[in-house]
Amino acid sequence: MVKNSFISVTFQEKKKESSGSVEFQVLSFTNKIQRLTSHLELHRKDYLSQRGLRKVLEKRQRLLSYLSKKNRVRYKELISQLNIRESKNR
């Protein structure tokens, strides 16, 4: 829970400035992934939510690969702030 509050506080100020930026989109997908993961821990057979989780994971992965190609420094900062592993396919 502490990590979630840190993420929301860190990017709350940036939300007003740039809600369409890649970093903000990755942040919102990360929050959605955390919510769906906690939901699926309780409801293991909710296959529609599993499908939604896979779709959000793929979207986030595409955005992260785009960011790593365009600006490697911003990619590294975002990965370290959100505690996301780097992708294997670079």
Is residue 1 over pLDDT 50?
Answer: no
Residue 68 token pair? 């790593």
Is residue 15 over pLDDT 70?
Answer: no
Is residue 12 over pLDDT 80?
Answer: no
Minimal CA–CA distance to 34: which of 89, 84, 68, 87? 84
**Residue 28 is which amino acid?**
S
pLDDT (mean) for 8-30: 77
Domains and CATH numbers, the chain: 21-80 (1.10.287.10)
Residue 89 token pair? 């396919």
Minimal CA–CA distance to 29: which of 84, 74, 88, 86? 84
Across the chain, mean pLDDT equals 86
pTM for this model (two decimals): 0.77
